[in-house]
Structure 1
Amino acid sequence: MGNDARQYAPSAARNRDPIWEVLRPHLPARGLVLEVASGSGEHTVHFARASDSELVYQPSDPDPLARASIDAWAAASGLANIRPSIALDAAADVWPIECVDVVVCINMIHISPWSSAVGLMRGAGRVLPAGGLLFLYGPYRREGRHMTPSNEAFDQDLRRRNPEWGVRNLEGVADLAGQAGFGPPAIAQMPANNLSILFRRTE
């Protein structure tokens, strides 16, 4: 691909349409959507292309190579409703953005330390207004149990790669969200034993 900085995530191609079907009805017609841990940038472009031009997307990632991929995908798309990517660490006490209408975070919580989940909830609570949406996607345990044997094997593999990673308990994530000013989650079962989780900020 020469100097093409675009990265390709096979999971993004598989899950972007099912995610969009769940997310779309909850998005405002206009405003700003922050994606935390945008990775390759493929989700950002897919969602921005399917949205009205007045709904603007702000991708972010702490990894400079990921940000290069995001910006390359955005440039190739020709879309005007995608901002240049920003460096954002979910665990940081201060984020480089102050106010958004929606926060989206796909497949991050299980591939990062628990401190990132804590920071994500606190940060989303800071930047979202009352009624603002926090959307999460990925595998979760429920009441301490894995949803399937394949999720359990995936969890074990994650923990072998990094002891701080792992499939999280949905109840623990919901508790963090509640502490950050969000109401109880709305949950949608997704393909490949994943969940879409929607929190609304109540305070």
Structure 2
Amino acid sequence: MSGERFYEGPASSDARRSAPAALRNREPIAEVLRDWLPERGLVLEIASGTGEHVVHFARAFPALEWQPSDADPGALASIAAWREQAGLSNIRPPVEIDAAAPDWPIAAADAVLSLNMVHISPWIAALGLLYGAARLLGPGAPLILYGPWLEAGVEAAPSNLAFDAQLKARNPEWGLRLVEDFAAEAARRGLSLAERRAMPANNLMLLLRRDD
């Protein structure tokens, strides 16, 4: 995923960036991850952003190895700075990954995690995320997403509709996606939607699993 990036908070005095939303949502997300992540193995995070999430999750799940990534040089620098400050041995150095690119510099993963990416990137990046996860994951392994979504037959929260309009005004290729559209594209790539969970602030977490 290349191009414009979206951060809520200002950069810190060093390379570390901060997003206030990451501090608010990291523990609710971790609670769901406790049910969905494998006990051991490598978790690849796509579009790690500031790096605050991966540090929190690496502390919460010390038996897992974490591979952060991003396409933005500033984000990669921020991730590296947060990683260095944390001093955790289960976080790998960040790698550059454009979700829309046909090849990623990772051969396999036991889980793929992507938070708040799909709505602030072109649809081709969402499809690339599905392609990449299908290549890397083994049978039954999870692809986990978090963010604001729209659902067929479910009245959208006014705040989500306003956010969708703001995103599209900023970049016409951005915007909240329909869960059913994403799930249909996932199914074409060998990934099935297994579960959805409602989250605070009108967000959702989606669990997809690689088909056997």
Aligned match of 2:171 in 154, 159, 162?
162
Count residues in correspondence. Answer: 201
Identity %: 55
Amino acid at match of 1:70: I
SS at match of 1:189: strand
Amino acid at match of 2:75: A
Q: Structure 2: how far apart are the matches of 1:14 and 1:176?
A: 30
SS at match of 1:142: coil
Structure 1 unaligned regions, length at least 5: none
Q: Structure 1: how far apart are the matches of 2:82 and 2:210?
A: 31
- TM-score, normalised by the number of residues in structure 1: 0.96
Contact 1:174–1:185 under 8 Å retained in 2:
no
Aligned match of 1:97 in 95, 101, 106?
106
What residue is the counterpart of 2:180 in the other structure?
Answer: 171
Aligned match of 1:108 in 93, 117, 127?
117
Amino acid at match of 2:90: N
Amino acid at match of 1:116: A
Structure 2 unaligned regions, length at least 5: 1-11
Pair 37,16 (structure 1): closer, same or farther in 2 beyond 3 Å: same
Contact 1:146–1:152 under 8 Å retained in 2:
no
Give how far 1:144 is off: 6.8
1:33-182 correspondence to structure 2 within 5 Å: 33-52=43-62, 54-143=63-152, 147-182=156-191
Pair 136,48 (structure 1): closer, same or farther in 2 beyond 3 Å: same
Aligned match of 1:17 in 13, 19, 27?
27
- TM-score, normalised by the number of residues in structure 2: 0.92
Give how far 1:117 is off: 0.4
Give how far 1:21 is off: 0.3
What residue is the counterpart of 2:16 in the other structure?
Answer: 6
Q: Structure 1: how far apart are the matches of 2:141 and 2:189?
A: 12
CA RMSD after TM alignment = 1.2
Moved more, 121-130 or 178-187: 178-187
Give how far 1:28 is off: 1.8
